[in-house]
Structure 1
Amino acid sequence: MSEDTEFKQEWAASAGNHQDALAKTPTQLDQPKSLVNEIAFVGVVCAAQLMTQAGLSLAIAPLHIISKTFNASAKELTWASAAYSLTVGTFILVAGRLGDVYGHRLLFIIGFSWFGLWSILAGFSAWSNLVFFNFCRAFQGIGPALLLPNAVAILGHTYAPGPRKNMVFSFFGATAPGGYSLGATFSSLFAERVWWPWGYWVMGIACFMFAGLGILVIPRTSEEETQETQNDNLHWFVRLDVVGATTGITALVLINFAWNQGPVIGWTMPYTYALLIVGFIVLAGFLIIERKVTCPLLPQSVFKGEVAWVLGCISAGWSSFGILVYYYYQFLEVIDGNSPLLATAKWAGASASGACAAVTTGFLLGRISPSIIIFIAMLAFTIGQIMLATMTVGQTYYAQAFVLMLVTPWGMDMSFPSGTVIMSNSMPREHQGVAGSLVNTVVNYSISLGLGFAGTVESYVNDDGNDILKGYRGASYMGVGLAGLGVILASCFILISWVRRERNPKDVQSVQTV
């Protein structure tokens, strides 16, 4: 019997077990052979995170300048940010599975190409209307959805658990605040000095350039070479979990749409809360389906042990971050009268602070419990939110705005790298697309959902738009509540981790082996 025939028989015999079936696929990727090659490789992969956060800031910093083009209110333009984060967070899970099946390198290149196309079209929407602009923003977000999980998977395939992997994932997380500042700076500069669509056009050109660099510096993965053998044994419909993916995407879109549309047109409209109810019903159906199918998008291990606690903490913390960064700009521009470029300059220090946080996290991973790192991250989110909620009008910048700008990135760049490493190490190499999907899904979907929560609070406390400051404060206190929830969850995570170590000190938990 040939080795290939034996491989096929083993694969088919274990097709009923998703974990065992996919574990047969060799997906190890060789590390770059020189430091220069490694820098280029890591740099291009980290560009996925950089450009994703830059895309988020494109509509936040120059929001009020863009609103004049469409004769729309700032409240109507909240969809420009929410629609982008909605599609990023919603389609990531499916994108991760696509990468597991068709190759992470291929999906990475397609992701940047798609991102570039819809960035350019978003710029051309200046000749159209607000609906088309929001439509382009939503489709623009599918690009990062393809990029992020497959970028994480590429790194997960390349580096074995250890200090080098910890540091590389920390670098990946460190690009988030830098990417946001980069996008905000150029979008504000173009909006004030030239024309705001140029921010989107330049973004599109950069994305096409990164797609080309990805072809050059990312080697072909072994799953791309062995795909024919895999598809002979498991049908693509089964491997992609088409039924589960369709149900899950529908549920997430309905829930998120309802929460973000409610503040715009009011919760008195029946279809808003009707869609919300239907969304939760479909979500329940999705969870039931995932227990029945052969290759679920969400392995059951995701909902067990420390992994579930980590995802819960990240969800609470990053939903508060979406509120903070949006209303930080609103407060500085609307209340204090800063220009978009000046407000961006006041946020620019977050890049350096985030880089310090990421490097620190890289050293701490493997030396202290991940539960403690997550707890510190949640504290950073909470402190930043409290400072935003209590800022006074006309206050000197260095009193609170400067401090919250330095503190908040520690929440981002401690929670994301540690959560990503935990997920990557807790799943086999052939599931690295799923591992990358989960953290990024939670991060980006939570940002969009948090904006919906905050917008609802703002619309109910701003006295029908007559007290803007009161509305902003209400939204910020909503963020404080979400960040505080993250602190509570992280505290429980620490307690549970300590109890488990005391009961069985020799048992090495997967999330501890980072």
Structure 2
Amino acid sequence: MPEIEEEKVSSIGDDQYDDESYPPGVASDEEKAKDLTRGSSHISIAETLSLPHEIAFVAVVCMAQAMTQAGLAQCLSILRVVGDSMGLSNTSELSWLIASYSLTVGTFILFAGRLGDLFGYKKMILIGFSWFSVWSMIAGLSVYSNYVLFNFARASQGLGPAILLPNALAILGATYRPGPRKAMVFAIFGATAPGGAVLGATFAALLALEWWPWAFFAFAIVLAVLVVLSYLIIPSPPPAPLSNEPLSEKLHDLDLPGAITGILALVLINFAWNQAPIVGWSTPYVYIILILGLLFVPVFFFIELRVARKPLIPLHALNTDVAFVLGCVACGWGCFGIWALYVWQFFLEARHASPLLASGYFSPAAVSGACAAVITGFLLGRLRPATVMIMALTAFTVGSIIIATAPVDQSYWAQCFVNMVIMPFGMDMSFPAATLILSNAVGKEHQGIAASLVNTVVNYSISLGLGFAGTVEVHVNNGGHTTEDLLKGYRGAWYVGIGLAGLGMVISLIYSLNTRRSK
């Protein structure tokens, strides 16, 4: 969607057509389409679609979010099954199968968002689903190789969601003009996350009863179907002005030096933190890699501030509001990553549940997440986003405390069930609140960057948080040879999550007070 079109859509007042209907006098889809091609500023692309086409369009685009979470959860539910087949038993080693996926999702989102600006959002969505499908198939085929290939395939899988998420959000933002309808579409997009996770975990557990690679083969088939549906259903927005540039200009616009140094910094720092629990911080290559990653950080900022013609992150456009919000998001979603991995281990190892039963334990999160998304859409229209962010961080903190203190032999319907109801509110309140705050904090020309920054921090924090938690776990679980020692390690990891969420609460409170004083 070209920037000029986005500005035209954004310039329409939210109250211009309160019922979100098409202006009187333009009745048919054909007439709407004609007005759009003539450059009418009164309509959005969504208003040129019939209702069935619009529903199908939103459903297919929302599958980008659902399949991202399904890709994370499908491995969580059968983590021990995959680990046993590949000779892995240490939780720190198994955590790499989750962390590697989230690492590449979080690391490449910003760059993938820029690719969408240059080459088209729909085209990148097609590429994202295709890439995701191919590497899901390779992940299943790695059963004939070893865990190194599986880990590499999981990391490569993550590139698919990295391409999908920013471009899915961008095409929704470009298709709808501001107003209640657009807010509801974004709420639906967020609501698919817990449902996607539960479905991914459940079907993986079911298929693993026969043979665990089938979980990945089936996932690859579904993604291939989504490629076809996306091609047929997603409308093609007019070509962006940048897409008409020659290739040499596009390469300049990609900010490759910034992308390379930024990606290297993120990957090296994350690798060090997730590898250290396995081999120990005393291993030379671990702290050397960490130092190298930290050295790339100032190089990245120098390139973005002084060298890049079109920086990957326009730092001049960011302010203290952005810093506060990203800090809240990092703490909350770092807590979520820890919670997710160790709750699964708690069910599978401490409670000796089967993967299918553990998936059933998680099922209330899908319903709670959908309710949380709808409630958040309602609250964001009536409360300040900073207040909603405080509520989200409170949910992350309380949910983590509840599960960290749950006895092994306690009824599921006591603390575990309550935990499954509360935690999705942290996820589905923080993401839309953060997106809205950042959207309001930056100019129209940087709206895509705002959405991409939130997604980057969400997914990178999940991976980095697992590294922090894994370091604590291996130092308190006495080797993890008994159920009591395993539980001690899990709780140590959860306490890290509680600390992160608590820090996020403090940051969100400071941010809320700061915004009140500034008005």
Structure 1 residue 307: Cα displacement: 2.3
Instruction: Check whether the contact 2:120–2:243 (CA below 8 A) recurs between aligned residues.
Output: no
1:88 aligns with 2:105: yes
TM-score calculated relative to the size of structure 2 = 0.89
Identical columns (%): 53
Q: 2:290 aligns with which of 268, 273, 276?
A: 276
The SS at the match of 1:235 is helix
Kept after mapping to 2: 8 A contact 1:149/1:433: yes
Instruction: Note if contact 1:166-1:421 (Cα within 8 Å) is conserved in structure 2.
Output: no
Q: Hey, what does 1:469 align to over in structure 2?
A: 487
Equivalents in 2 of 1:436, 1:73: separation in Å?
37
Structure 1 window deviating more from structure 2 (442-451 vs 25-34): it is 25-34
In structure 1, give the amino acid aligned to 2:313: L
- 1:404 to 2:419 alignment: yes
Q: What is aligned with 1:265?
A: 279
1:296 paired residue among 299, 308, 311 = 311
Q: Tell me what 2:375 maps to.
A: 360
Distance 1:86 1:278, change over 3 A: same
Q: Is the 8 A contact 1:150 1:436 kept in 2?
A: no
Instruction: Give 2:356's aligned amino acid.
Output: L
Name the aligned partner's letter for residue 99 of structure 2: A
> What are the Cα deviations for residues 97-125 of structure 1, in whole angstroms up to 9, with x where unaligned?
10011111110110000000000110011
**Aligned counterpart in structure 1 of residue 261 of structure 2, from 232, 247, 250:** 247
Distance in 2 of aligned mates of 1:256 and 1:114: 23
Specify which structure has the bigger relative contact order, considering alpha-carbon pairs within 8 angstroms and separated by 6 or more residues. Answer: 1
How big is the shift at 1:425?
A: 5.0
Q: Does 1:340 align with 2:355?
A: yes
Counterpart for residue 121 of structure 1 = 138
Whether the 8 Å contact between 2:105 and 2:460 is mirrored in structure 1 is: yes
Measured after TM superposition, the shift of residue 24 of structure 1 is 5.4
Please tell me whether the aligned partners of residues 305 and 311 of structure 2 are also in contact (alpha carbons under 8 angstroms): yes
* Alpha-carbon contact 2:207-2:215 (below 8 Å) kept: yes
**Distance in structure 1 (CA, Å) of the matches to 2:243 and 2:416:** 55
Q: Does 1:149 align with 2:166?
A: yes
What is the CA-CA distance between 1:160 and the residue it aligns to? 2.3
1:366-401 superposed Cα distances (whole Å, 9 cap, x missing partner): 321000000000000001111121111211111110
Q: Which amino acid aligns with 1:475?
A: A
SS in 2 for 1:174: helix
Q: Are 1:172 and 2:189 counterparts?
A: yes
Distance 2:227 2:60 in 1: 9
Counterpart of 2:367, as a letter, is: A
Q: What secondary structure is seen at the aligned counterpart in 2 of 1:280? A: helix
What's the CA shift string for 1:103-154, capped at 9, x where partnerless?
1111011000000000011001111100000010000000000000000101
Whether the 8 Å CA contact 1:313–1:486 is kept in 2: the answer is yes
The equivalent residue for 1:3 is none
Write the mapping of 1:425-464 to structure 2, written as runs, cut at 5 A.
425-427=440-442, 431-464=446-479
Question: What are the ranges of 5 or more consecutive residues in structure 1 without an aligned counterpart?
Answer: 1-21, 502-514
CA distance in 2, matches of 1:442, 1:161: 25
1:325-372: per-residue Cα shift (whole Å, max 9, x none)? 110010111111111111110110100100001001111223210000
Q: Are 1:480 and 2:478 counterparts?
A: no
Structure 1 residue 34, shift from structure 2 partner: 2.4
Could you tell me how far 1:220 is from its partner in structure 2?
1.3
Using the alignment, how far apart are the partners of 1:26 and 1:181 within structure 2?
35
> For 2:244 and 2:340, how far apart are their aligned partners in 1?
47
Q: Please, which of 41, 57, 72 is the counterpart of residue 88 of structure 2?
A: 72
Say what the alpha-carbon RMSD is for the aligned residues: 1.7
**Offset, 1:426:** 4.7
Q: CA deviation at 1:278?
A: 1.3
Residues 437 and 116 (structure 1 numbering): CA distance in 2 closer, same or farther, change over 3 Å?
A: same
Q: Take 1:106 and 1:222, find their aligned partners in 2: how far apart are those partners?
A: 12
How high is the TM-score relative to the length of structure 1? Answer: 0.90
State which of 322, 326, 331 in structure 1 corresponds to 2:337: 322
Paired amino acid for 2:419 = L
Distance change (3 Å), C-alpha of 1:209 and 1:422: farther
Distance 2:367 2:350 in 1: 27
Measured in 1, the distance between the counterparts of 2:309 and 2:261 equals 16
**Equivalent residue runs for 1:218-229 within 5 Å:** 218-224=234-240, 226-227=241-242, 229=244
Aligned AA (2:72): L
CA separation of 1:228 and 1:70: change in aligned 2, threshold 3 A? closer
Q: Secondary structure of the equivalent of 2:45?
A: coil
Partners of 1:39 and 1:424 lie apart in 2 by 25
Superposed CA deviations along residues 13-52 of structure 1, whole A, max 9, x for unmatched, are xxxxxxxxx9557686611422222211111111000000
Aligned to 1:511: none
Q: Distance in 2 between matches of 1:228 and 1:61?
A: 42
Aligned mates of 2:179, 2:85 — CA distance in 1: 51
Q: 1:42 aligns with which of 58, 81, 84?
A: 58
Q: Which is further off, 201-210 or 158-167? A: 158-167
Higher mean alpha-carbon deviation, 74-83 vs 61-70, is at 74-83
For 1:483, the aligned partner's letter is: A
**Equivalent position of 2:230 in the other structure:** 214
CA change 1:47–1:426 in 2 (3 A) is farther
Find the residue that maps to 1:222 and give its secondary structure. coil
SS in 2 for 1:60: helix
Give, in whole Å, the separation in 2 of the partners of 1:115 and 1:134.
Answer: 15
Q: Is the 8 A contact 1:100 1:432 kept in 2?
A: no
Is the 1:260–1:455 Cα contact (8 Å) retained in structure 2? yes
The one-letter amino acid paired with 2:139 is A
Q: Could you tell me which of 286, 293, 313 is aligned with 2:328?
A: 313
Partner residue of 2:510 out of 464, 470, 492: 492
Q: CA deviation at 1:176?
A: 0.8
Which residue identity does 1:373 align to in structure 2? Answer: V
Deviation at 1:428, TM superposition (A): 5.5
How far 1:430 sits from its partner (Å)? Answer: 5.5
CA distance in 1, matches of 2:94, 2:320: 40
> How many equivalent pairs are there?
477
Larger mean CA deviation between 431-440 and 92-101 belongs to: 431-440
Structure 2: state its 5+ residue gaps. 10-43
Q: CA deviation at 1:421?
A: 3.1
The answer to whether the 8 A contact 2:385-2:436 is kept is no
Q: Secondary structure at the match of 1:418?
A: helix
Q: CA deviation at 1:493?
A: 1.2
Query: 1:163–1:362: 8 Å Cα contact kept in structure 2?
Result: no
Partner Cα distance (2:6, 2:511) in 1: 34
Q: Offset of 1:229 from its aligned partner?
A: 3.7
In the alignment, the residues of structure 2 paired with residue 229 and residue 350 of structure 1 have an alpha-carbon distance, to the nearest angstrom, of 45
